[in-house]
Structure 1
Amino acid sequence: MKLLFKIGYYTLALVVLGFGALLLLMQTAILPGYEVRIVQSGSMEPAIPIGSLVVVKKFERYEVGDVITFGGDFASSLPTTHRIISDSISEGKLSYETKGDANATPDEKLVDVDSVRGKVILSLPFLGYLLDFARQPLGFALLIGIPAGFIAFEEIGNIVAEVRNRKKIFSESESI
């Protein structure tokens, strides 16, 4: 039983640390050239389902077939994640034609190379739903705060037990 408790405890600790790290990555640019995003539409299904967490990495060049994230430079616009179906050079400037896998037609506008945020290098289906929930106050409390409090409480209990044990050993050694 004690072994099961330890396994559960360390699993919980890893999950809390993992969620905390992902939340931090989503809010800051700790790793230059990388972004963590949550997919909000079904345009790339079935390859990337709604609610997927995607990791996007900036590259020098992108190829036909790559799934890229672009746009979202303004407060009113969200980044888009679509597949490159062709590229072209016009007036010395590289552009990409993109299309969502689930869309019948290509995107109306070409994507300027400077608008590309990066290539999707990892997609974790449905994990985005959990992270989006964890960004809400209730979600943060349930997924991060309460488990972290449990871990802290358990560790404080371990420290108190160790202090008592050392006091007991010290008092026994003085009486000899």
Structure 2
Amino acid sequence: MKGKRMLKVLSHFTTTLLFIVLLVTLFSVIAMKASGGEASVFGYQLKTVLSGSMEPEIQTGSIVAIKNANGQVTFQKGDIITFRTNDDMIVTHRIAEVEDGQYVTKGDANDAADAEQVSQENVIGEYTGFTLPYAGYVMNFANSSEGGAILLVLPGVGLLLYSIITIWRALRKIDQSGQEAKTD
């Protein structure tokens, strides 16, 4: 009796977990697509680090949380900022110097400062210190059309297969109890 009750609890837990994973994945993919791939959680932008220029503090493939600059006028030497370059790339580097309202930035792992200085209007935000290693690879995959489709389809297929197995077991149980009733 305890074994059946435990299996029933495990069955409900699995169904609930698959359904939650499906809903979270669906929400995440739709939110990322709607915002043009710019994931945001509680007012913090999540950015994927694609190079090793800030290692060892920020590893390649990590997700970092960026607090929006919101018109903050100045940052100081040593602050880590995310900014848009003149080539429209997004970079996260440390401020090496402040010169005439412009920021000289440098990646921690780089030998020299960046060639271009960064103006305040190009600053997107400041690194908060929150890093999630390797999650950026998953976020980039989810942001691709193939990845988004796979991340939506897999939990759905898992839930569907689990439902089919549960229905099949229930029908088998009904069939067995019907055969037992005939023999009585």
Is TM-score (shorter-chain normalized) higher than 0.5?
A: yes
Give me the whole-angstrom Cα distance separating, in 1, the residues matched to 2:32 and 2:77.
27
How many residues are aligned here? 152
TM norm structure 2: 0.65
How far the C-alpha of 1:149 sits from its partner, in A, is 4.7
Deviating runs (4+, > 3 A) in structure 1? 1-27, 29-34, 148-155
Q: 1:125 to 1:30 in 2, by over 3 A?
A: closer
The amino acid that maps onto 1:77 is D
Task: Please give the residue correspondences for 1:16-95 in structure 2 after superposition, counting only pairs within 5 Å.
Answer: 16-27=22-33, 28=35, 34-59=44-69, 60=72, 61-71=74-84, 77-88=88-99, 90=100, 94-95=101-102
How far the C-alpha of 1:23 sits from its partner, in A, is 3.7
Unaligned residue ranges in structure 2 (runs of 5+): 1-6, 167-184
Q: 1:113 to 1:30 in 2, by over 3 A?
A: same
Residue in structure 2 matching 1:99, options 85, 103, 106 = 106
Q: 1:20 to 1:70 in 2, by over 3 A?
A: farther
Give me the whole-angstrom Cα distance separating, in 1, the residues matched to 2:136 and 2:21.
15
Q: 1:6 to 1:22 in 2, by over 3 A?
A: same
In structure 1, the residue matched to 2:117 is 110
| % identity of equivalent residues | 33
Kindly name which structure, 1 or 2, has the bigger radius of gyration based on alpha carbons: 2
- Is 1:4 matched up with 2:10? yes
Give me the whole-angstrom Cα distance separating, in 1, the residues matched to 2:31 and 2:135.
14
Give me the whole-angstrom Cα distance separating, in 2, the residues matched to 1:22 and 1:109.
35
In structure 2, the residue matched to 1:169 is none
CA contact (8 A) 2:29 2:148 kept: no
Q: 1:2 to 1:105 in 2, by over 3 A?
A: farther
Deviations 1:91-118 (A, max 9, x none): xxx2111111111111122111110011
The amino acid that maps onto 2:118 is V
The amino acid that maps onto 1:116 is V
Give me the whole-angstrom Cα distance separating, in 2, the residues matched to 1:62 and 1:152.
52
Residue in structure 2 matching 1:136, options 137, 144, 163 = 144
The amino acid that maps onto 1:123 is T
The amino acid that maps onto 2:121 is D
TM norm structure 1: 0.68
The amino acid that maps onto 1:143 is L
